[in-house]
Each structure stands twice: as structure tokens, then as C-alpha cells.
Structure 1
Amino acid sequence: MLDHFPFYLLLILSIVLLIMLANKIKVAYPILLVIAGLLISIIPGVPVTKIDPELIFIIFLPPLLYEAAWSISWKELWRWRRIITSFAFIVVFLTAMTVAFAANYLIPGFSLALGFLLGGIVSPPDAVSANAILKFVHVPKRMSSILEGESLLNDASSLIIFRFAMIAVGTGQFIWLDATLSFTWMVVGGVAIGLLIGWLFMKIHKYLPTDASMDIILTIITPYTIYIFAEEIHSSGILAVVSAGLLLSNKRHHFLNSSSRVKGVNVWESFVFALNGLVFMLIGLDMPEITAGLKQDGIPFSTAIWYGLLVTIILIVVRMLAAFGAVLTTFIMRNFINVAERNPGFKGPVLLGWTGMRGVVSLAAALSIPEQLSEGVAFPQRNLILFITFIVILTTLLVQGLSLPLLIKKLHIAGYHDYMPEHEANEFIKTALAQHSLQHLTARYQKELDTNAAVQQIAEKCRLKNLYNLSPVMSAEVKSIYLDLLEEQRKWLLEKNKSDLHFDEDIIRKYLHQLDIEEEKFRYM
């Protein structure tokens, strides 16, 4: 391990430089990292990079999913719940089933159980790839919210399919009653465990004398603890982590102080940045081991590539059909229930259908397949499954990933008017915060307003809607009044976000973050 340490340092440096290059040329960084990993892997003398299959899920998935749950808006998740859940569960299952029957029919030696195993691996699209592309092109907030929500839940549904398929491959049988009970426990138990342990960690943050460093360490420990505990009792660790992440994200202002929130954002951005970079580089670096396994099994390289391309085509076609199927369902169901969008059009489904790049979860699932069954027998078709997964990831990243920006520009998708325009929202929030702050000062600190020049200056700043350009040098009494005013503004923002669907939560969060920074500036002066 120590002999290869310089190589790993160079690898991390390469990841940073490649992501800088990707941002410069406006290409999604997962594409460059996969290609770079592939090129590095063929350099003579490069150490073989291999991760223990039993650890791949634990190392990467819990923190990545936890951070995604913290970043997503619960308001948006609930607003688009029907299409999100249909893509995250129904479409994933239909995709896995289609791949299963196609593989069983077209690939020699592929049983239906192996087909479902492959389908469970390649069915979930990767949010990291889509988000890396979407930051360079403008799409309506609705589309990005749906993609984020889908990616948060589809990992759980695909891995449930994967787990049942593993059982069927290992035992050679599939008992529907046992599977139904097990599925119910995985879903219900996973959510319940996540909420319970998340609630316990919330109380630890709130009632124990922690500081910012301790809080950040606890947030890093939380997803790993939840995932391991949920998996130990055979429920869904993914659903447990996502449930806890959503709970703690929505309660963050109740148990974390401003210092923990401000510093935690920076730590988590760096942590997730490193994990995403490593996992996509790993996809390319793992290629020599996969191809060596194919040679060992006597499978021609060209044949394996054809199988991978065939599965990729199936994935793209099924997702496109599902996207337009969702439109058709909306047109039908709007006659019976209230739907979020009564006239969805065709441009949105085209975009939603084409954002099907595969990545982190597919790689983790494929690498977690054991080399041997419990009886010591080699796992059937393991190397072919790994190779097909690699081809699917590489092809979808290159074909869909590189063409997606061009498609978005070609479609010219207009805004759906779901939210107040950003400039209007900013002006409204500044005016409303200023008015609310003045009312609070008048109602609670009238005596200080009459006698204290510093408090009068705060009131004047509110009248000018210039709330945060105050000198941090002030008396303890005035500082206490100002910090109370910041807390009152925070309460107003949180209530406005909760009650008014016309505000994009990203804008609200921007103001909440500004309040945290302002509070930090004054609290420790």
C-alpha cells in the first residue's frame, strides 16, 4: 500500500486537474474522468486498483446519497412526487425486467435471474453525471428537480431488485411470498430505521455540548451508521440514509448552529467532490481487470462489446418510451385528479428521456458481485456482467452526456412559470425582510430605538433594504438585539419557503446561508 502511495497522490491531483479542465471546456467531468482512468489503466507499470466488493457500497454510497438528500428541496420532491416515484420505482422495475428478458433470450448462458441481476445494476440513471452537465446549460427548475428526486430514490429500488436477483442466482429459486414480505420489510424498515436513527443524531447535536468540528464529524458518521445498521437487519440501507438525510436537512436550523452549517457546507462539498472524482476514475481504472476476466472465460471482446451496446440501446429506448408514457398518463389522469402539469408538451419528455447516463450506483453494484457463490463455485457470468456495465456507463456518458447540452439548446425549453422570476423574488424578499425587521424592532425594542443610536442605525439600514453592511464593532446589548433580528429573519424565510410554492427554495437557501455568515461575523467579534 505504501509503495503505491505516490501513485494515489498523483491520481487525486489528476482528478482535480481534469475537473478544472472539464469546467473550462464545459464538459461534464465524469466523462473526462472515465476516459482518463481508461487511458491510465493501459500505461505499463500502473498499479492494479481494486476495491473489496464488500466495501464498495459502504465507502461511496452512504455519504453521496446523504449529501444529495441534504441538497434536494423537500418542497420540490413533494410537488413532483408522482412523476418522481413513477420513474424511481415503476420505470426502474420495467427497465430491469426488459433487460432481464432480453439478456435471457439473446445472451447464451444467461438465466432470467442473471438477467434481473444485470437489469438491477444498469437500470438507475446517475444524478452526478446529469447535474454536472446541467450546470453548463439552463433548464427549467422543474426538470432539474425531477431528475434530482428520481436519482435520490431510484438507487434504492434498483438495489432491491439487485438483492433479490442475487438471492435467486445463489439459491436457484424465487419464492414470491418470501420476496413480498422481504420487500415490504426492506422499504418500511429502511424508512423507519433512517427516521429513528436520524432523530437520535438530531438530539445528540441539539442537547450535547458539541462545537462546529464535532457537529461536522457527526454528520459524516451519520450516513455510515444508518446504512450499516439498516443492512445488518436486512432492510434497505439506501432508503434509510435517504430518509434520515431528508429529515435532518429539513430540521437543520433547529439543531445545528450557524457555525456548524457554514463550515459543514465547505467540508461536505470537498468530501463529496473527492468521492465522486475517485469513483468515476475507478470506472476506467478497473477496465484491465474486467477484460482479463473476459479472456479467462473465453468470451470474445467484440461479442462482449456488442452485448454492452445492445443493453445500452434497450435502456435508452425504455426510458424514452417511459417519458412519453408519463405524458400520456398525465393527459388521461388530469380528467380525474389534480396534476401538477396539465399540458406537459413533448420537449420535457425528450429531455427527461435522454438524461439516462449511468454511473456510480451501477459501478458499485457490479463490483459488489462476489467472485464465488457460497458453495465455492465461481459466480456465473460475473466478468461479462462487469464488462456490460462498463460499456453501458461509458456509452451513455459519451453519447448522451456529450449530446445532452446540444439537445437542450436545440429544444429551447421555455420556463414553466412555476416560480417567481429570480430578480422579482430577490426584490420581494429584500423588501419583505426589511419590513418584517422594522416591525420586530418596533414591537420588541421600542425603548432602545428611542435612546440608542446604534439600534437606530440598524433600523435605518432596514428602511434602505441594506440589511447586512453593519460594523461588527458594537456593544453587547446592540449585538444581542441584532442577533435576535437575524433569527427573526431566519424564521420568516423558513415559514415563507414552507407556505409559498411560488418561491424557488434555492433562493431561500441563499438568503439563509447569508444570514448564517452574518451571524458568524458578529457572534465571535
Structure 2
Amino acid sequence: MAELSVVLILLFVVVVSGGLSRMLPKTIPLPLVQIALGAGVAAIADLGVSLEPELFFLLFLPPLLFLDGWRIQKEGLFRDIGTILNLALGLVVFTVLGIGLLINWLIPAISLPLAFALAAILSPTDPVAVSAISRRVNVPKRLMHILEGESLLNDASGLVCMRFAVAAAMTGAFSLSSAALTFLWLALAGVAAGVAVCWLVTFTKGLVTARYGEDAGSQILVSLLIPFAAYLVAEKIGASGILAAVSAGLTMSYSEISGKALATTRIRRNAVWDTVQFSLNGVMFVILGEQLPKIVSNAVVVVQETGHHDPIWMLAYVVVINVALAVLRFVWVWVSYRLVLLRQHRQEKTDWKLIAATSVAGARGAITLAAVLSLPLTMTDGSMLPARDLLIFIAAGVIIVSLIMASIILPLLLRNVAMPPEPLLLQQQDRVRQAAAEAAITAVGKAVHALPVGQEDKDLYTHAATRIIDMYRERIAGYSSKEAADMARYKRAQEAERQLWLVAMRAERETIYDASRRNRLPDDVARDMVREVDLIEERLGSA
């Protein structure tokens, strides 16, 4: 019962954080609000939150990584795959080596293997936090696609590096050749396990639904179980569960393109997954805030053992490591950018603002937090893992400082940057919309002629088909307009129509609610009618 109460309190704090963040200035990222609320909870009551590292890893990482893979923009991922791999693999190794040596030199109490483990934990970036910050500034879409792709892949590479470093710290042995072969197995088998599990589940699910129909609740539950199944299968065969979760998410995105799921399943599933993502991210940061006072007090003891009796040294460690992370990232991005220009024989001036923005945008977040909290509690001989609380404190400090830096510096860097339009993307959208409208007209025409109805009903269907076809023809005329002025006018007309539809939908819904309040309409019927209006409004709102 105590554990259930703790879970409910944590979820309640996450709910409060969502409302509070909307009241505060947009410069304050949601994770910082959640950390502060967690610290406030710790000041009021000792919840005694204690999770086994492996359990914590299993609960939080698979669904988050799966969702990242599922929702990644694949066209941008494959278009900039060279840049993304350069950041996700090359920069991770560069960061692990550079920051690992720095941490070991800066804090001798942290052994070299543990220093490399902490550096690997700090290497993954978190685009979710940066996306929340960047909503008030214009961030180039291509830059966001690169950051998202980098985060998707560097989560896996960083956490796999952490696994090697922790193993070396626990056993005291490390073989480069053995590590290379192990890494190859972890990567290939992990990816294969994720793809196989997701494909097998979706294929089986497709056979069942094709024969017996589709139940939205079951479909949603299956999607929630896939990342855990992929992770556990991969771990069972000694592969990387992290890569399995990511590859399962990518496979799920291709399965989604088949379009076999019902519309109501997709709508509900998206809502459920949005809630899962918000809850898991929020709970992790609240836990960090709740644990922060204890982490700080325990880290002070470790710092004193290094000969520094003033706790201010803890802040110095965090600041120095954050600066080093930013410098290493800046250097890597700048060198990579210059090499690309050199290889393509291009003579262009270095865009310092864009390079600086790419460096600052590498904020740390949920994955770093989950990884550091999953560090083992004890060594193989049963003794406590050295400096574990200091490692957690440094990781927490880096997360907080990097979020603050991103929230302050990123808007300044991008404030006066002119964002070039993306005409090709807009043209692609218009072409597909036009093709979809033409396909709809053809389908409606065939359906009317194929319906075995009487003459009276035939007239009704013909009249209905005419109205639908006229609507689609109006869309085609707008999308196929050759003149820019005509296209702009059509877009304005669309927006005006959308705004009026939204007003109409809200009035319609309020009338239904009023009838329900006055007992003129049964509650279940009112809910169904409101749901119909909500679906139309949601489509109009996202148009």
C-alpha cells in the first residue's frame, strides 16, 4: 500500500508541474519545474523512493526509446544519416574519452572506469527538453531533425558504452578486442531482436484482426507491451535491450504506414502514448528532485574524501564538466562542418551561430537521468559502488545546468536568424493532397454506381456524392493553382473556413452539454455526440 501511495503522489506532482509550467515564463523548461517540485516534496515528507537499478531501467527506458524510434521523422533521418551518425557515434566516443579523462583527473575518488561510465551517461542528448524550449523561437526544421536523429542513436551508443565501462569497473578487466566483438553482437543481435519481436507481434495481430475484427483497447495494450518484450528478449540472448527498443520503434513506424489500424485505434493510441511519455519523463524528474537533498548530502562526504572540505567544489565540478561538454561538442561540430565543406570543395563562411546553436541544443535529460539512477548499488564483492552518490549528483547537476543554458542561450542565438522557407516540402504536401482528393473523387463515384439501392435512395446517394465531389474539386483547384497570389488567397480562405468551423463546433458542443445538464438527453448519447464533434475539431485544429 505504501508503494502505491508513493506512485500516486509522484503522478499528482507531475500533473501539478504541467499546470504550473504554463503559469510560469516560457523560459523555464518543464523538467526544471518538476525537479523543483520533487525537492519541495522531499522537504515536506520523506517518501523513501527506492528503486532497484535494473527495475528502474526496465520501467522507464524501453517505452521512451521505443516511442522515439516510432515517431522519428524517417525522411530527415535518412537524408542526414551521415551527419547524425557523426554526432551519435563519433561525438559519443569523443565525449566518453575526453570527459572520462577529465572527470578522473578532476575527482581522483572516481576511478577511470567509473569516470568513463559517467561520461557515457552524460553523452546522450535529449531533444524533448530542447523542443519544449524551442517552441517560442524559430528552430530550423532540419536542425531539429538532426538533433532528434542524434538523440535516438546516441541514446543507444552512449548506454552501450556505459555498460562496458561499468563492467570494467565491476570486474577490473577490459579487453579492447573482446569489447569490439561484444559490441558487434550487442548491436546486431539487439537490432535484430527488436525488429523480429515487433514484426512478429504486428503480423500476428494483423492476422487476428483481419479474421475477428479490431478492438482498440487490445491494440493499444499490445503497442505498450512491444517495447518491454523487445527489451527482455534482447537481454535474454545477451544483446542490447536498448537497441532492441529503438529498432522495435522504427519497425513500428513502418507498420503504421500500412494504414491497417482503425482511425479510432490510432487516435486513442496516440493519446495514450502521449500520456505515457509525459508521465514517465515527469516521474523521473520528480524522483530526481525528491532524491536531490539526499544525493547532495552523500556527495558532500565523497567530496570531503578528496580533500576538498568546502561543498562549493561540487558546483565547481558540475560547471567545469558542463563547460567541457559544450566545448567538446562545439569543436566536434565545427571540425565536422569544415570537413564537409572541404570534401565538397565549397568555399563558405562558417555559420558560427548555427554551430553554437547545435552545441547548446545538446541538453541532457531523461535518458541521462534513467541511466545514472540505474548504476549498480554494489560491486561484485558486495561492497558499495564507490562514489555512486557523487556520480548521480554530477549527472543531475549537468542535466539542470544544460537545461538552463539551453533555455537562456538558444533563444538568443536563434532570435534574429532568418528561417528559409521550405517550398519543396510544401509542394510535396500539396501534390499529395491533390492526389488524395482525386483518389477520393474516384472512390466516391465508384461507390455510388456499385450500391444496390432503389431509385429513391439512388437519388439521395447521387446528391450526397455530388456535394462530396464538389468539395474535393474545390481543394484540387486550390492546390493546383499556378499563381502564387491565387494559392495564398486559397490558403487564407482555408484558414478563415477553419476558424469558423471551430467556432461552430464549440457552439454545437456547448448546446449538447446544455441539453445533458437539463436532462433532455441521456448521458451516454451526449458523450457519443460530443466525441463526434471533438474528432472533427481535432482534425480542424491540426489542419
TM, length-normalised to structure 2: 0.79
Aligned to 1:317: 327
Aligned to 1:279: 284
Q: 2:437 corresponds to which letter in structure 1?
A: A
Q: Which of the numbers 356, 363, 371 marks the counterpart of 1:365? A: 371
Aligned to 2:73: 73
Q: 1:19 corresponds to which letter in structure 2?
A: G
| Higher-Rg member (1/2) | 2
Offset of residue 55 of structure 1 = 1.0
Aligned to 1:49: 49
Deviations 1:83-132 (A, max 9, x none): 11111111011011101111222222333212211111111111221122
Q: Which of the numbers 381, 387, 390 marks the counterpart of 2:387? A: 381
CA distance in structure 2 between the aligned counterparts of 1:343 and 1:453, rounded to whole angstroms: 66
Unaligned runs of 5+ in 2: 476-531
Offset of residue 295 of structure 1 = 4.2
Offset of residue 361 of structure 1 = 1.4
Aligned to 1:125: 125
Aligned to 1:262: 267
Does the 8 Å contact 1:322/1:353 carry over to 2?
Answer: no
Q: Which of the numbers 312, 315, 329 marks the counterpart of 1:302? A: 312
1:61-460 equivalence runs, <5 A:
61-208=61-208, 209=212, 210-254=214-258, 255-297=260-302, 298-299=304-305, 300=309, 301-335=311-345, 345-409=351-415, 411-415=416-420, 417=422, 419-421=424-426, 428-442=431-445, 446=449, 452-460=459-467
Offset of residue 230 of structure 1 = 0.8
Aligned to 2:524: none
Deviations 1:46-83 (A, max 9, x none): 32322221211111111111112221121121111111
SS in 1 for 2:341: helix
Larger mean Cα displacement after TM superposition, 369-378 or 32-41: 32-41
Q: 2:13 corresponds to which letter in structure 1?
A: S
CA distance in structure 1 between the aligned counterparts of 2:390 and 2:125, rounded to whole angstroms: 20
Does the 8 Å contact 1:65/1:241 carry over to 2?
Answer: yes
Offset of residue 296 of structure 1 = 4.3
Aligned to 2:482: none
Offset of residue 11 of structure 1 = 3.7
Query: Structure 1 pair 226/460, CA: closer, same or farther in 2 (3 Å)?
Result: same
CA distance in structure 1 between the aligned counterparts of 2:463 and 2:428, rounded to whole angstroms: 28
Q: 1:22 corresponds to which letter in structure 2?
A: S
Does the 8 Å contact 1:461/1:467 carry over to 2?
Answer: no
Deviations 1:460-506 (A, max 9, x none): 423333899xxxxxxxxxxxxxxxxxxxxxxxxxxxxxxxxxxxxxx
Does the 8 Å contact 1:50/1:286 carry over to 2?
Answer: no
Deviations 1:379-405 (A, max 9, x none): 122222111111111111122234323
CA distance in structure 1 between the aligned counterparts of 2:96 and 2:359, rounded to whole angstroms: 16
Offset of residue 313 of structure 1 = 1.0
Deviations 1:3-50 (A, max 9, x none): x75565344233223222323432321121122223332x14332322
Aligned to 1:31: 32
Query: Structure 1 pair 5/230, CA: closer, same or farther in 2 (3 Å)?
Result: closer
Offset of residue 356 of structure 1 = 1.7
CA distance in structure 2 between the aligned counterparts of 1:350 and 1:103, rounded to whole angstroms: 24
Does the 8 Å contact 1:95/1:119 carry over to 2?
Answer: yes
Offset of residue 335 of structure 1 = 4.2
Offset of residue 443 of structure 1 = 6.2
Does the 8 Å contact 1:330/1:342 carry over to 2?
Answer: no
Q: Which of the numbers 471, 474, 487 marks the counterpart of 1:464? A: 471
Q: 1:404 corresponds to which letter in structure 2?
A: L
CA distance in structure 2 between the aligned counterparts of 1:344 and 1:419, rounded to whole angstroms: 25
TM, length-normalised to structure 1: 0.81
Unaligned runs of 5+ in 1: 469-513
Alignment: residue pair count:
465
Say what the alpha-carbon RMSD is for the aligned residues: 3.0
Offset of residue 279 of structure 1 = 0.9
Query: Structure 1 pair 213/466, CA: closer, same or farther in 2 (3 Å)?
Result: farther
Deviations 1:278-297 (A, max 9, x none): 11111211112212322444
Does the 8 Å contact 1:308/1:391 carry over to 2?
Answer: yes
Query: Structure 1 pair 10/374, CA: closer, same or farther in 2 (3 Å)?
Result: closer
CA distance in structure 2 between the aligned counterparts of 1:433 and 1:44, rounded to whole angstroms: 58
1:463-482 equivalence runs, <5 A:
463-465=470-472
